[in-house]
Each structure stands twice: as C-alpha cells, then as structure tokens.
Structure 1
Amino acid sequence: MGCGRTDAGVHATDFYAHFDVENVEELKVLNAITGINAMLPYQIAAKQIIPVHDDAHARFDATARAYKYYIHFEKNPFKLNRSWLVKDKLDVEVMNDAAALLLNYTDFSCFSKSNTQTFTNNCKITKAVFEQTEDGLVFTIQADRFLRNMVRAIMGTLVQIGKKEINLTDFKAIIESKNRSNAGQSVPACGLYLVKIEYPYIR
C-alpha cells in the first residue's frame, strides 16, 4: 500500500509503502532490498526497509507532506520532463506575498479536483515559499495533507500573480470562493516532486 498517488509525470524523491511479512529478520537475511530493486523498473529505487507496528498505514498515518515545484526560464535539454519552462518574467516578491496568504486558510476547495472521495477539503499549510535558483525558481509547500491536483492548481494561480494577471485581493477572493473554476490552470506535472513525508513513528 503506497503512501499516496500522484498524476502521471509527477516525481517523488521520498515515498513510502507498507506491506505485511511474518518474519522481518528473514528480509535482512534474504537481502530483500536487492531483490526488490531487481523487480522494479529503473525509474524506481527501494532504499530501506523499516519495521513498524502491525497497524501502521503508509497513507493514513502520515502527519505531514512536502512538495517542491521547479521552474526554469531558458531552454535546457537536461531539464526536459524535470522542470517547467516559463518564458514570462515573474514577480517573485509578490508571488511570495501571495504564497504566505495560504497559511491563513484551511479550506482549499478552489484548488481541488471536483468529485473526489475526500470527506473534507480542509488542509493546514505550514510552509509555502519561492526561492531563487541559478537558473529558475523552486516553490516549497508543506501541509498536513493535500487534495488532488492541489499543488499544481496553487502554482498555476501563483504564476498568474507573478504575471500581474491577478492581484493579492483577487487571490484571497479565489480562495474564499471555494470554486475551482475561479483558480488558475494546473501547471505541468513535470516540475512537481514529492520530497518529504513524516510519520510519528519514523525519525
């Protein structure tokens, strides 16, 4: 059972899955990591097996998750399918002002795909910030949970802010409307990375 699911084209540098075995020690004797990696496609690498309690659940026990979204501004073949090429000039300062506003809200219905199976669209965002890199930007966002398509929809709306298509007042109104059609388009999946998942029993 994986810790979650992502859209096609999204990456993960940190990902957990749980499975049941009768004897954890046997996995060490059998060198299970080598065997698992031999069966996995090259794009996926298992790094570690961590014994946890019998009722541990990779998806529902997570207390926090973090994503990064990468943007670059000049054509670069080495970033193909790894980052989003944006040719427009962006006002990063006002984008950070807008990102900071996310911490004041809990209902993010406006950034969620409709007709999902979630019981609530409430999330507690604890970090949302843009940082300059040598050739682009990286946006980091952390919360206790995320809705389907949430990060990509937030990014699409923040880029509208950066392009001066909408302002901070508009951004607040979009969030408070709780209407997905008012927010920006979802940005390409290629720039999105799941980078951190926290559990109360894994340090």
Structure 2
Amino acid sequence: MGCGRVGARLAGELDEAGHSVAIIDIDAEAFERLDDDFSGQRVTGNGFHRSVLERAGIEEAYGFIATASGDNSNMVAARTVSQMYQVERVVARISDPERAAFCERLGIPTVAAVLRVSAALMKRVLPPNATTVWDDPTGRVGLCLIRPQSSWIGVPIETVEKLTKSKVAFVARLATVTIPTKNAVVQEQDELYLAIPREEETRVRKILSRAPEERK
C-alpha cells in the first residue's frame, strides 16, 4: 500500500524477482512512478478499506507492506490485514517513534523511519571502535561492537555488564566467537558485542572508552 518512492521501488523489485504483486494507492497518478515493465496489478483506492484490499487480492496474499505517507493509514491497514485476513507477514512504515512503539505492542512489525535514519547516520559518524552491526526493525535495540579501552583488560565480563548496564551477547577473540562464561574476563584485542537500547549506545561507548571505575 502506497506508491510513493519507497512503495514503487519495493513493488518493482518484488515484481522483477518473480512475485505476484498488487500495489494500492489512493491517487492513480502515483502509479506513474512504476517502471514501464511493471507487470503487477495497480489498484486505485484507500488501502485500509476492505473492498480495496480484496480487489488487490489480499485474501490470497502472503505478505503486506504498508508504506503510505500517513502513519495512521499504515497502522490501520496493517492491523486490518493482520487481524481480519490473517496475512502471515505484515510490516508498516511508521515515521513517529511513539506510534511505532504502539504498533509493536499491537504485534505489528514496523520500520520506524526516523529511528532507522538516525541509526544509519549515527553509524556513519561514530568512531571505528563502536559499530552497530545489527538493529531490530524498529531501530530501538542494536547489537553494538565495541573495543574496550586497554585498561579494561582483565576485568570480568560480569563487571562490564554491571557498569554498562548492558548484556554482552558474545565476544570475538583471536578469530573465534564465544558466548562469555561466568568467569570470563576481557582480554587484549577483544571485541565485545553488546545488546544495547539505541538511546543508551553513546553512554555505553563512553564508559568503555575510559578506565573502569571499579574492578571485581
């Protein structure tokens, strides 16, 4: 749903990959964004109305992407498709982070545009000792690779977790990756992968770039 720049691109890529695609937009002129060789169905109408969804073949669909310009429209359409038509894979593009969180609580996977763009920009500007290697679709939680300052060598992983208030998911050491055991300590050139809420990433990075405040 939504034949803006994102929707048109997605529809074209899916069509080119051999999927059966229907794209919905309330404005018929929006379909001009599609490539000339687009072979999918173009459906004009409001994408959260059942009659429009059914004209687009929602009852046979295995996936639905709500990428219209309005958050509310995307939320309503995604929830309708998920609950009324039991479509297995549904995702909504949401700009407002609060609405994205609300959608997630309703069980609707979202791509939070503001958070994702912010995360991408932060990833570009952060120093090389802190890199986000994965984040969830909402952009709220990330897996961050951090190389601690040398004064952390010998500090127990448990202390790292206590001081950063984050979970060390695994450690890359000497070309191997391990899940830290209870008695594991930071060693030279360790790369720590921490699961961190995105708003906490800067705080954790600062902690590990300085000498630890305590050792246990």
TM-score tier by shorter-chain length is: under 0.3
Which of 1 and 2 has greater Rg?
Answer: 2
Question: Normalized per residue, which structure has more strand?
Answer: 2
TM-score normalised by length of structure 2: 0.27
Question: Normalized per residue, which structure has more helix?
Answer: 2
TM-score normalised by length of structure 1: 0.28
Q: Which of 1 and 2 has higher RCO (CA within 8 Å, sep 6+)?
A: 1
